[in-house]
Amino acid sequence: MAERRLLLLAVALLLACAAFLLWNLRQPVGFILGLRTTKLAALVLVGIATGAATVLFQTVAMNRLLTPGIVGFDALFIFLQTLLVFTLGGAGYTQLPRMLTFGIETVILMACAMLLFGTLLRKGATDVTRMILTGVILGVLLRGLAEMIQRLLDPSEFAVVQGAMFVSFGAVKKEALWIAAPVLAVAVFLAWRMSASLDVAALGRTRARSLGLDHDRLVLSALALVAAMVAVSTALVGPITFLGLLAASIAHGLMKSHRHAVLIPAAGLIGALILVAGQFVFERVLGLQSTLAVLVEFFGGFLFLALVLKRRPA
Amino acid sequence: MIETKDLRVSIAQSELIHGISVTIPKGGITAVIGPNGAGKSTLLHTIAGLQSAASGTVTIDGTDIARARPQDRARLVAILTQNQPMLGRLTVEDLVSFGRWPHHRGRPRPEDTAIVAEALAEFALTDLSDRLLDTLSGGQRQRAFVAMAWAQSTPWLFLDEPLNALDPRHARDLMTRLRDLSAPGGDGRSVVVVLHDLNTAAGFADHVIALKFGHLFLAGPKAEVLTAENLSSLFDTPFQTTEVKGRQLVFPD
């Protein structure tokens, strides 16, 4: 049953991709198709990676509310962007080869993400309030630091930072995609290979260990994959805080299964479907230039609030 | 046989188990009793390898538990822990199937399915196998978790307060099943169970380990441990014993 739903999701994503590429295609076909393919690849990669990463993160955190973005990853990204522009200067930052900045950002984000998630999950990962509070406070701290540095920037440098703070699928470079695609593909595949162990981990640390799972090693491996997936996709297009929460929540609701072998691909496909279908409707049907991320954040934020309010007190 | 030697356990820089050396014989039911905070659950978790010892050793059937690989440990000891949060909505059958994980590591074989069916039948859960855990009563859930530990097919079965949330009938049924399983002629398992109800210990256990303030207070056959004098001293409150229909009953005076 779950496998059939997975197949339907894959078909829906394929149709959305075809519509995104071919709808209202005009001359020069080759040029427009090239632009659309790059954008589509970014949408699909980011959607799949964000959805899969969120399912992994929620399982090791033993919490269906948390996403890497909610516990401070997005604030970390903005802080790093600001710091890079501040240290290199606006001109220095923009003159750097795009591939180099993408590489630097990815590596720094991965290292910081491991540090951040490791700190948050080291003790009391099941204590939701503590996790959210710590994440929010860290986020506020990092945003505060970023704002302080932004006040020291001149207007042109500030404009560079501002450009990086918002999601942009249009500005993705093909070269960055060539690096991001294999990294994300390998990370998603490795995450999927962990499925059986993740099923056991969802029983809780003590039970999982009593069943012979090396729980701490699994958490570390999962966090490394989450760090790789969110770092690469954020460095590629920018932060989308609530996309993962939307994708993972819909995947759990739709699949009605505890098996990560279907949850991970489902969340990935749903993440990609939200972005591709949403961008298609926005760009092609409505002809709007507004960014889809605003809508994703609106509905995702709303869902987050609904989930928090729905939770029974512990 | 389980043997602990000078076992010390500290949590958050506080020593909870103070050098316990005890032997748990193979076969039958061994009850672990003692006042709140005596270290019963900590001792059980440490013997099962879920809690690291600060010093001392634990051997189970000759295996040093601290050096055993996690999957080898899980084939030696199954443990039912006290209620802990879990993620996801599982059916009873899904949960019981996890008991086979140490044996198939995610690739179930036909014999695993057969053992799961057996476990469901053994704990009267067959009719509930498709029910989601969160739609069950506390007692039904507890039985499902015991069935999961049973399905692990280990020579040692540890149960930390398994009678919580069970009504008297199901508590008696569970203890009767455990006694049948661990009795000579059963399936050769040894059961170690943390109990608060001393009369259940008196009725079903073969051996009793009594702990007090993290120290071993007494260990031995139940007739030697569960005396009014010992229990009065263990719980710092006067106890009396009596016999009803050939069964020993203990109660605070």
Q: What ipTM score was computed for the predicted complex, to two decimals? A: 0.90
* Cα gap A256→A260, rounded to integer Å: 11
Contact B89 A256 (CB under 8 A): yes
**Which residue is closest to A65 within chain B, CA to CA?**
B87
A196: nearest CB among B71, B73, B105: B105
| B99 vs A: CB within 8 A | yes
DSSP state of B131: S
- Cβ neighbours of B78 in A, within 8 Å: 210
CB contact under 8 Å between A202 and B87, yes or no, is yes
Contact A64/B87, CB-based, under 8 Å?
A: yes
Taking the C-alpha atoms of residue B231 and residue A208, their distance in angstroms, rounded to an integer, is: 36
- For residue B74, the Cα-to-chain-centroid distance in whole angstroms is 14
The single residue listed with the structure tokens 């879920």 is B50
Tokens describing residue A42: 């970014």
What is the C-alpha to C-alpha distance for residues A166 and A238, in angstroms, rounded to an integer? 6
pLDDT in tens, B97-143: 999 999 998 888 999 999 999 999 988 899 999 999 989 988 888 88
CB under 8 Å to A310, separation ≥6 — which residues?
Answer: none
Task: Sort out which chain B residues have CB atoms less than 8 A from A209's CB and list them.
Answer: 50, 70
Chain B residues whose CB is inside 8 A of the A61 CB are none
The predicted structure's pLDDT at residue B147 = 94
Hey, of B87, B95, B153, B154, which one would you mutate to test binding to chain A, going by the most A CBs within 10 A of its CB? B87
Chain A positions in Cβ-Cβ contact with residue B84 (cut-off 8 Å): 204, 206-207
pLDDT score for A313:
45
Q: What region does B131 belong to: left with phi over 0, alpha with psi -120 to 50, or beta? A: beta
Residue A27 at interface with chain B, using a CB cutoff of 8 Å: no
Rg (CA), chain A: 19
Fold of A2-309: ABC transporter involved in vitamin B12 uptake, BtuC (1.10.3470)
Distance in angstroms (rounded) separating the CA atoms of residues B17 and B40: 9
Beta strand B239-244 with B247-252: parallel, antiparallel or unpaired? antiparallel
pLDDT value at position A309?
74
Kindly list the residues from chain A whose CB atom is less than 8 angstroms away from the CB atom of residue B70: 209, 212-214
Per-residue model confidence as pLDDT tens for chain B (253 residues): 999 999 999 988 899 999 999 999 998 999 999 999 999 999 999 999 999 999 999 999 999 999 999 999 999 999 998 777 788 789 999 999 999 999 998 888 999 999 999 999 988 899 999 999 989 988 888 889 999 999 999 999 999 999 887 888 888 988 998 898 888 877 789 999 999 999 999 999 999 999 999 999 999 999 999 999 999 999 999 999 888 888 888 888 8
CB contact under 8 A, A196 and B87: no
* CA–CA distance, B200 with B181 (Å, rounded to integer): 17
Give the predicted TM-score (pTM) of the model: 0.86
Chain A residue numbers with beta carbons less than 8 Å from the beta carbon of B99 are 211
| Residue ranges of B 44-63 with Cβ closer than 8 A to chain A | 45, 48, 50
* Vertex B146: Cα angle to B141 and B152 (nearest 5): 130
Identify residue A275 by its one-letter amino acid code.
L
**In chain B, what is the greatest distance between 2 CA atoms, to the nearest angstrom?**
55
> CA separation (Å) from B6 to B3, B17, B225?
10, 9, 21
For residue B179, which phi and psi values (nearest 5 degrees)? Answer: -65, -40
User: Residue type for B218, please?
Assistant: L
Say whether B86 and A203 touch across the interface (CB within 8 A).
yes
| Among A residues 245-264, those touching chain B with beta carbons less than 8 Å apart | 256, 258
Please check whether residue B88 touches A, CB under 8 A.
yes
What are the domain boundaries of chain A? Answer: 2-309
Does residue B78 belong to the interface with chain A, where contact is any CB pair within 8 Å? yes
What is the H or E stretch that residue B128 is in?
none
Distances in Å between the Cα of A173 and the Cα atoms of A168, A205, A284, B115 are 11, 42, 21, 55
Residue of B nearest to A314 (CA): B85
Which one-letter amino acid corresponds to residue B187? D
The beta-carbon contacts of A2-8 under 8 Å, at least 24 apart in sequence, are A2/A255, A2/A256, A2/A257, A2/A259, A2/A262, A2/A266, A3/A262, A5/A254, A5/A255, A5/A262, A5/A266, A6/A255, A6/A262, A6/A265, A6/A266, A6/A269
Contact B87 A197 (CB under 8 A): no
A58 touches chain B (CB under 8 A): yes
Q: What is the nearest CA distance from B230 to chain A, expressed in angstroms?
A: 33
Q: Which of A63, A200, A210 should be substituted to probe chain B, the one whose Cβ sees the most B Cβ atoms within 10 Å?
A: A210
Phi/psi at A72 (5° precision): 110, 0
Strands (E), B138-205: 156-160, 190-194
Contact A252, A221 (CB under 8 A): no
CA dihedral B58, B64, B66, B72 (to 10 degrees): -120
* Residue A79 CA from chain centroid, whole number: 17
The whole-number pLDDT of residue A269 equals 96
Flag residues of chain A having pLDDT under 50. Answer: 124, 313-314
User: What does the pLDDT look like over B47-65, one tens digit per residue?
Assistant: 999 999 999 999 999 999 9
The three-state secondary structure class of B78 is strand
Instruction: Note which residues in 201-220 of chain A have CB less than 8 A from chain B.
Output: 202-204, 206-207, 209-214
CA end-to-end span of chain B: 36
pLDDT score, position A314: 38
Q: Which amino acid is at A134?
A: T
Burial of A83 (0-12, 13-18, 19+ CB in 10 A): middle
Nearest CA of chain B to the CA of A212: how many Å? Answer: 4
Give the 3-state DSSP-derived string for chain A, with helices as H, strands as E and coil as C: CHHHHHHHHHHHHHHHHHHHHHCCCCCCHHHHHHHHHHHHHHHHHHHHHHHHHHHHHHHHHCCCCCCCHHHHHHHHHHHHHHHHHHHHCHHHHHHCCHHHHHHHHHHHHHHHHHHHHHHHHHCCCCCHHHHHHHHHHHHHHHHHHHHHHHHHCCHHHHHHHHHHHCCCCCCCCHHHHHHHHHHHHHHHHHHHHCHHHHHHHCCCHHHHHHCCCCHHHHHHHHHHHHHHHHHHHHHHHCCCCCHHHHHHHHHHHHHCCCCHHHHHHHHHHHHHHHHHHHHHHHHHHCCCCCCHHHHHHHHHHHHHHHHHHHCCCC
Q: In sequence order, what E strands does B25-117 have?
A: 28-33, 55-60, 63-64, 77-80
Q: What is the mean pLDDT of chain B?
A: 91
Give the contacts of A30 (CB within 8 A, at least 6 positions apart): none
Q: Which residues of B touch A59 (CB under 8 A)?
A: 87
Going by C-alpha positions, the residue among A215, A245, A276 that lies closest to residue A10 is A276
Q: Tokens 């009803």 correspond to what residue? A: B244
